[in-house]
């Protein structure tokens, strides 16, 4: 179990933000220490947490644009950005829960998506046309 800076807060956070995976590992361990469900059910609930976080993004967008006439403008675009970060963090924790090789799985998937989407280049420049 990781040390805590204060009750309920994981210690050892990445200060510079350069590599998020040590912090993701700490968050996963912290959540595991307090989980009500183990095994498959715990894993499913951790993955379902993503849906909750995406819903909070939607709520923030609705609030930032004032689309709820009863509430008006109830959120800011900073709120939307924060909620989007929560989605990313939750997804990373869920991935780490699925595999101890989360960093490698994520890096490989990001490379595959970049290659597919950017035509084989990482900087967005056009790749050489395929030879017939």
pLDDT in single tens digits along all 132 residues of the chain: 334 444 455 555 555 668 999 999 999 999 999 999 999 999 999 999 999 999 999 999 999 999 999 999 999 999 999 999 999 999 999 999 999 999 999 999 999 999 999 986 666 565 555 555
The pTM of this model reads 0.79
Across 38-57, b (16+ Cβ under 10 Å) vs e yields: eeeeeeeebbebeeebbebb
């Amino acid at each position: 179990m990781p040390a805590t800076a204060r009750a309920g807060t994981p210690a050892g956070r990445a200060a510079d933000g350069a590599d998020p995976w040590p912090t993701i590992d700490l968050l996963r361990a912290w959540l595991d220490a307090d989980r009500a469900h183990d095994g498959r059910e715990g894993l499913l609930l951790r993955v379902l947490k993503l849906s909750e976080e995406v819903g909070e993004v939607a709520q923030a967008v609705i609030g930032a644009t004032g689309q709820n006439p009863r509430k008006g403008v109830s959120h800011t675009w900073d709120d939307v950005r924060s909620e989007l970060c929560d989605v990313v963090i939750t997804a990373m924790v869920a991935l780490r829960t699925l595999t101890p090789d989360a960093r490698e799985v994520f890096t490989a998937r990001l490379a595959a998506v970049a290659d597919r989407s950017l035509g084989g280049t990482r900087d967005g420049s056009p790749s050489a046309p395929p030879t017939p």
